[in-house]
Structure 1
């Protein structure tokens, strides 16, 4: 009896100590032994007290309810106003990348009258594919000119958040060309029969707390009938991904039924919100999206709500920050965001050295979201243990943790291409 009482007191002391650490604004935790117990909201528990038992209940009752929780507490209202984007082909080269691809540069005008409000899309089509090609859509971090060394790709004139090689006073120079080719693996993507469409995320809104003043939340507020504080930067970036889909549906060289969406890090969060908001994205990939994305906020590990909202207040609506001191009051968590992709194929990936993104939290989130996929007869992740490094697990919901750091690598792309080929029924 005494031993049992001592054990219970030790557990209680552990929980109190861990929760006190959070309350005292400890910056983070990367010690698994210090993660306190937590309880996730049940993704299948309806507000009326019943449990979702079939896909019809999910699609028509529970999914809209959860989606609204995200609009209210994390991302803000997604613009409902229909827009008519205008597209202009700025350049075409059918012998790009030494003949491997056809390159198109497309300007998407987002405002009906103001031609300064636009985003530039760089599209590569595989020349070896003679039928409409499936396509991966993804934002880049520093301009279309960074993903390839090709000289004819337009050099972005936008403000740059990341100050890497070739960026002077937050503006790109010629020295920035091809500085991020490792993240894109163009030849691998094209050789597998996929097209790639990318755009600079800063075309929509600069990645700063005041970026909204020059971004689309201000320039389009009358067009979209939504005020800047009704949504957030993540919402603006997500909305822009849908405008890329608008164009792709008009391009006869693209299979509009096979649009895969991929996002890394902060852009992985935007990707998940775009995937939740736009059903035209037939497959979604979250690459190390972490806090506010695939990871579990209730797990005190890596980045937290408190930290992310302190450093990047513009990423989410103001209400999200109010949960920083007590995430148990947050009515949603990462597994619920992932569940909004169902029944579309979903891939979640982590890197072992990227503790900030909480790899285990991302895995557990994907596994929990698999319960929703089961309603559709889809098999997700059924193992309860983290898989070994570089060993994907799961079917319609898939996960891997690879060796290395926070990045998008050749290994990642190889898995995503294989996954998309399988899910789209392609022979590649």
Structure 2
């Protein structure tokens, strides 16, 4: 079995008596908030602390010694369509320390600072486009043979080769993104934190913070990926070609979980796209459907904090749920998307997560999700919260990107 399991197994239904979905507008003491200021100063901090303590783990702040090194600039990349930049992010400032390579494509046809889409990738920066100028990742990589979404036989001894260029370009429509006036910014997940059980917590940034490990609210890998997205945002704020007030964060599958947590914890992200993020992302655990907490904590024990294990087999009884994480993005726009055959992610649960977050968006004076019933296949509904479900399985398709670009145009292109 591949170590990266994209197709989530469907868990058996939970037979415990379901509890009512917790209300995001009720304080921990049971009192209801009545003003936007109370949300900002009381309830939002409570929720952030609860999820950091009980699920994702606490994360460190920006490293004081972190530094950026722009090691590549090509103003005529992709046939002149884009300026390509590559930036080494040295997390502790040391050249021999953990490093994240960030790849940027900035559209040349747009003058002035442009909006951007930031997202982590699964197979290295060189996988998203066949551009020979992209530095090939030197971080650990899965062999991936037999993966239904990508052929990475180009990986030798768990290292990428030149043959891996563009192997995942189908999921990253660079030309379409650039032609709509958006920059694309990406980095490889393994540069930040290991997704391999044998090396979990021992590579990337987590060893820099031993004080955040060996405790119940430890710095988990999903939180580390989210932290890495914030460090990319730190760089963006220094780049004059990108407007830091118009940056969207995108993620698919486990990286969708990270994108959602990054959007919840870092308000610099102006918009969030949670693509088929499933359990630990947008779907509600209270439904007792799809991938459950036991599977998350046993198959992927590094993803979440140790404290989350105490909720195994208690999915329908949780005192919190993922609509509250979605609510932490409010009132900024967020898009949640599903696929019909992606049963482990529980499409209905992802829709219900978005719908249940609407109360906070409406409380803060925005529309929220503009429907109370799940839309039919291939129909996008877009308020301050957007949602669609399409045919097919766990994947990223051109249909998905078409909806996301329309949502971005509506909310941040001319903000």
Between the aligned partners of 1:82 and 1:172, the Cα distance in structure 2 is 29
Q: Which residue of 2 aligns with 1:352?
A: 340
Alignment of 1:8-407 (within 5 A): 28-29=11-12, 38-80=19-61, 82-161=63-142, 163=144, 164-209=152-197, 210-218=199-207, 220-221=208-209, 226-227=212-213, 229=215, 230-407=218-395
Task: Determine if contact 2:63/2:92 at 8 Å carries over to the other structure.
Answer: no
Q: Which residue of 2 aligns with 1:14?
A: none
Compared CA separation, residues 29 and 426, structure 1 to 2 (3 A): farther
Secondary structure of residue in 2 paired with 1:213: coil
Between the aligned partners of 1:416 and 1:373, the Cα distance in structure 2 is 20
Secondary structure of residue in 2 paired with 1:379: coil
Displacement of 1:214 after TM fit? 2.1
Displacement of 1:384 after TM fit? 2.3
Compared CA separation, residues 394 and 51, structure 1 to 2 (3 A): farther
RMSD of aligned alpha carbons: 2.0
Higher Rg of the two aligned structures:
1
**Does structure 1 residue 409 correspond to structure 2 residue 390?**
no
Secondary structure of residue in 1 paired with 2:71: strand
Aligned length: 397
- Unpaired segments ≥5 residues, structure 2: 1-8, 145-151
Between the aligned partners of 1:106 and 1:122, the Cα distance in structure 2 is 7
Encode CA deviations 1:49-87: one digit per residue, 9 max, x unaligned.
Answer: 211222111111111111111011101112136534211
Secondary structure of residue in 2 paired with 1:362: helix
Displacement of 1:277 after TM fit? 1.3
Between the aligned partners of 1:387 and 1:170, the Cα distance in structure 2 is 42
Which one scores higher on RCO, CA 8 angstroms, separation ≥ 6? 2
Secondary structure of residue in 2 paired with 1:314: coil
Q: TM-score, normalised by structure 1?
A: 0.88
Between the aligned partners of 2:355 and 2:221, the Cα distance in structure 1 is 28
Structure 1: which 4+ aligned runs deviate by more than 6 Å?
none
**Does structure 1 residue 426 correspond to structure 2 residue 407?**
no
Task: Determine if contact 1:363/1:386 at 8 Å carries over to the other structure.
Answer: yes
- Unpaired segments ≥5 residues, structure 1: 1-25
Encode CA deviations 1:145-194: one digit per residue, 9 max, x unaligned.
Answer: 00001111111111013623311222111221110001100000000000
Between the aligned partners of 1:217 and 1:27, the Cα distance in structure 2 is 31
Q: TM-score, normalised by structure 2?
A: 0.91
Compared CA separation, residues 228 and 250, structure 1 to 2 (3 A): farther
- Higher mean C-alpha deviation, range 244-253 or range 75-84: 75-84
